[in-house]
Structure 1
Amino acid sequence: MPFDVITYLPEIISVTVIAIFMSISPGADFVMVTKNSLFHDRKAGLYSALGISLAIWMHVTYSIAGLAIVIANSPLLFSLIKYLGGAYLVYMGWKTFQSGSDIRIEQGDDKPTLSNFSAFKTGVITNALNPKTTIFFLSIFTQVITPDTPILIQLLYGAIISIAHLLWFSLVAICVTHPLSLTLFNRYKVTIERVIGVVLIGFGLKVAFSTF
């Protein structure tokens, strides 16, 4: 049935504002994009950002299909998402912490390679198994959106959230691979490696044991 977009303008504005704040709030996605950008290259960070943006559509899909309500009412299913996400972050954090690489990264130098697909896959998995994102979609699609909200409007909300994540994490990848950032990275590489590893492990443990 035809609908007036103006009718949904307050919802669109609300979802846009929430999506922006949700994107820029510190979390596992931010740490993973930073890690791939610094330890590999800008392209790895951008492909990770693209993976995160695509993973958003997984959350959109199950929310539109009504599975968000199932997840919200199934402690077992939600716990499974939590533990898988937590285990993945702990694994990636430990790998980063004990990597001990002494490679210096300079603009234009050859860097430790990470294939485009691997970087993309890392972004997808990190966001897809991120309970924070799941909670976000549960709140959006069970409170902001009503059963009468047209599918096209729901898809528009999904596009807004996906684009917000893509733009923000692409910006992160670009900023952390700026020559000044790389200079600082080379100076404190071992410390940064271990800090990022600990942060990822911390996020993983928080995800696994949090009651949200």
Structure 2
Amino acid sequence: MYWTEFLTVALIHLLAVASPGPDFAIVVRESVTYGRRAGIFSACGVGTGILVHVTYSLLGIGLIVSQSIVLFNALKWLAAAYLLYIGIKALRAKPNAANAQLQMEEGARSPRAAFVAGFVTNGLNPKATLFFLSLFTVVIDPHTPLAVQGGYGLYLAIATGVWFCLVARLFSQQRVRAGFARLGHWFDRLMGGVLVALGVKLAFSELR
């Protein structure tokens, strides 16, 4: 009975994770500068960071929904305004000039250091904070069992890790970097439309 909800979550997440941002940047940097292994470990760190956002989204939203309409509405309008802001900004994205080539650095870049780089980048990203709070407010029914919501969260973490592992494999091949950079603004524009729609839906949502 939760398949429709899950598929909606998965689709929104797919569009979000495909849009270049801080996570994308750190994985590309690790992959291009230090090689494929570092890129994959940083991707795993990003995926693990998702669990941080999922955990406090589950606990925080549950508390807000169950105990305080005022807090719910305050969060709703803050998140909606933020989503509209970054959505409109993304819709106006323009092509960027290709970055200067980075020299491949040989030697010491431990898997732990690469993992921590990905984890910290995602875990401390305030944009991810409001995005996940918005996602768990708008799309997921507060009455959906916490075990099911936790399953959604586990999927989001795994899917994020897998996506960025693919990014790491791609960008560890130097020849494709410039071409993808030229197309990055189209991903921004697509994500911008989704974020604007999500922000509007959030603004008109009501506590159930």
Query: Shorter-chain TM-score: which interval?
Result: 0.5 to 0.7
Q: Distance in 2 between matches of 1:73 and 1:120?
A: 35
Aligned residues between the structures: 148
**What do you get for the CA RMSD once the two structures are aligned?**
2.8
1:14 aligns with 2:4: no
2:162 aligned to 167, 191, 194, which one?
167
Report if the CA contact (8 A) 1:19-1:160 is conserved.
no
Counterpart in the other structure of 1:39 = 33
**Which stretches of structure 1, 4 residues or longer, exceed 6 Å deviation after superposition?**
none
Amino acid at match of 1:18: I
Counterpart in the other structure of 1:201 = none
- Identify if the C-alpha distance between structure 1 residues 177 and 64 changes in structure 2 by more than 3 Å, giving closer, same or farther: same
Taking only the aligned residue pairs, the percentage that are identical comes to 39
Q: Distance in 1 between matches of 2:148 and 2:51?
A: 14
1:51 aligned to 20, 23, 45, which one?
45
Counterpart in the other structure of 2:110 = 115
Report if the CA contact (8 A) 1:52-1:124 is conserved.
yes
1:146 aligns with 2:128: no
Counterpart in the other structure of 1:200 = none
Amino acid at match of 1:8: Y
Q: Using structure 2 for the length normalisation, give the TM-score.
A: 0.63
- Identify if the C-alpha distance between structure 1 residues 36 and 103 changes in structure 2 by more than 3 Å, giving closer, same or farther: closer
Amino acid at match of 1:13: L
Q: Using structure 1 for the length normalisation, give the TM-score.
A: 0.62
Q: Distance in 2 between matches of 1:49 and 1:66?
A: 26
List aligned pairs for 1:56-205, cutoff 5 A: 56-66=50-60, 69=64, 73=74, 104-105=103-104, 111-178=106-173, 180-181=175-176
Gap runs ≥5 in structure 2: 65-70, 80-100, 182-208
Report if the CA contact (8 A) 2:32-2:174 is conserved.
no
- CA deviations over 1:66-95 (Å, ceiling 9, x no partner): 268579858xxx9xxxxxxxxxxxxxxxxx
Q: Distance in 2 between matches of 1:179 and 1:31?
A: 15
